Amino acid sequence: MKKNYLILGGTGAVGYSFTRYLIENGRDATILVRDYKKARSLFKLNANLTIVEGSVLDTALISELVKKVDTVLLAVNSNYSTWQQFLPDSVQSVLTACEGTSKTIIFPGNNYGFGSSESPISELTPDNPCSELGRVRVYLEQMLYNATIDSKIKVLNVRFPEIWGPNVTNETFAPVFKNAISGKSLPWLINADTPQQMIYSLDVGRIIFKLCEACQVSRYEVVHVAGNEVPSMRFWLNRVSELARSKKGISIFPLKRLRVLSWFKSDLRMVVSLAYKYNKSIRFDDTKFRNRVPKFKYTKLDVAILETLDWFSAEKEVAKSLTKTKLIEGAKNFLVENIAIGLFPFAIFGLSPEVEFIQENAVMFGVVAGIYWIKPLKAMLLPVLKFRLPFRN
C-alpha cells in the first residue's frame, strides 16, 4: 500500500531531496514551508505536490496536516545560533500534533552526538557529545525516543554524515560551489587533509524513501548511513575545481583566525566547537543499512559534482534575473513616484489662483497629494511602462 508523506522543512537540503524523489516517482507529497515562493521556484508546478506555507511551531496546523498522511519527515532546520530553542520547540510541536496517532516520524540525524569518536559508530554506540550542538542533537533524539514509549508514534532516526549537493546552501558547502562556478579559490575550514565520510544530498532522499518502503518501522529505530568516504577533503575540493575548470586552487581558513572572528558572530562559535570534525575522521558503521537496502548504489562522485555545479549555476542565473527584474521595477516605481510628487505642486499652483493660502503652500499640498495618488497612478501607469532598461547579462 502506498504511503502518504508530509515533509516539514520542504525547502531545506533533506526535505528538498526527499520531496524531489517522491514527485519524480509519481508519489504524492505535502510540504510545509516558510516561503511559498521559494518552494514554487524549487519544485515548479506539480500535480503530486501540495505546498502549505506556515510554521512548524503552529501545532494546530500540523495537527490538520498529519491527519491526511501516514509518515512525517521532520526535516526542519535553523541557524546554529537558534538550534537550542527552535529545534526542541519544533520537535515538541510535531509530537503534540501526532499525539494519539500511529504516525511514523522520520528524523534525519547526524554524527554530532558522538563527539570525537575514534572507532566507527554503530547504532549501539553510546552518545558522547563534546559540543553544544551535539548536546542539542542528543536532546532531540531523547525527546523522540520518550514519545514512543507511552504512545503509538513510531520514529525512524536515520543518521547521515556531512551532506552536500543541490540545495545544500549552508556556509560550509555552498561557498565551494559558488566560488567554483565564479572562478574563485575554493574555501574550506581548518583542515583539508583528513579522510571524511560525506553523502550526496540527492542520495539522502532516495535512502529515506527506500528505508520507509523496505520494511515496517519498529517503535524507535536508528539506522546509520555512511555515504562515501573521500581520501581527504583536499581530494574532493580538487575534483570540484577540476570539473568546474577553475584554476584558483583551495583556500584554507585556519582555526586561529576562525576563533578570533567567532568573538563577533555566534554561529562561528558553534563552528569552532565542531573543529574536531575537521581534524579527525568521524565514521559511521552502516552494516545495518546495507543489510536493509543491499542493492543501494550511491551516485558516482563526478556525476554528483557536475549535477551540483549545474544546480548552483542555475540558481546564480535565477538570482541574476531577479536582481535585474527588481532594478527595472524599481526604476519604474521611481519614475511614477517622481511624476506624482513632482507634478502635483505645479497642478495645484495652477488650479488655485484665487486662494492665497493654497498658492503659498502649493509645494506642501502638492507633495501630500502626490503621495496620496502614487498608488492609483502606479495602477494606471505601470502596465503601460513596458520598456526595457539597457541592462546586460
Q: What is the phi/psi pair of residue 385, to 5°?
A: -80, 75
What are the tens digits of pLDDT across the range 177-213? 999 999 999 999 999 999 999 999 999 999 999 998 8
User: 29, 1, 220: which is closest to 107 by C-alpha?
Assistant: 220
Q: What is the phi/psi pair of residue 157, to 5°?
A: -100, 105
Instruction: Identify the pLDDT of residue 382.
Output: 58
What are the tens digits of pLDDT across the range 353-375? 555 555 555 555 555 555 555 56
pLDDT band for position 246 (cuts 50, 70, 90): confident
pLDDT band for position 387 (cuts 50, 70, 90): very low
CA distance 350 to 359: 9
Q: Percentage of the chain with pLDDT > 90?
A: 61
What are the tens digits of pLDDT across the range 18-68? 999 999 998 999 999 999 999 998 998 788 899 999 999 999 999 999 999
CA distance 280 to 364: 69
Q: Percentage of the chain with pLDDT > 70?
A: 80
Q: What is the phi/psi pair of residue 270, to 5°?
A: -65, -40
Instruction: Identify the pLDDT of residue 66.
Output: 94
Specify whether domain 5-170+197-229+282-299 bears CATH 3.60.150.10. Answer: no
Overall pTM > 0.85: no
Q: Report the half-sphere exposure of 325 (CA within 13 A, side-chain side).
A: 6
**Res 388 pLDDT > 50:** no
What average pLDDT score do residues 287-292 get? 94
User: 174, 157, 164, 155: which is closest to 204 by C-alpha?
Assistant: 164
- The DSSP output letter for 121 is B
Give domain limits for the chain: 5-170+197-229+282-299, 321-381
CA distance 179 to 195: 23
Answer for the pair 224, 159: CB distance below 8 angstroms, yes or no.
Answer: yes
C-alpha cell at 288: 545495518
User: 116, 64, 126: which is closest to 94 by C-alpha?
Assistant: 64
CA distance 146 to 165: 33
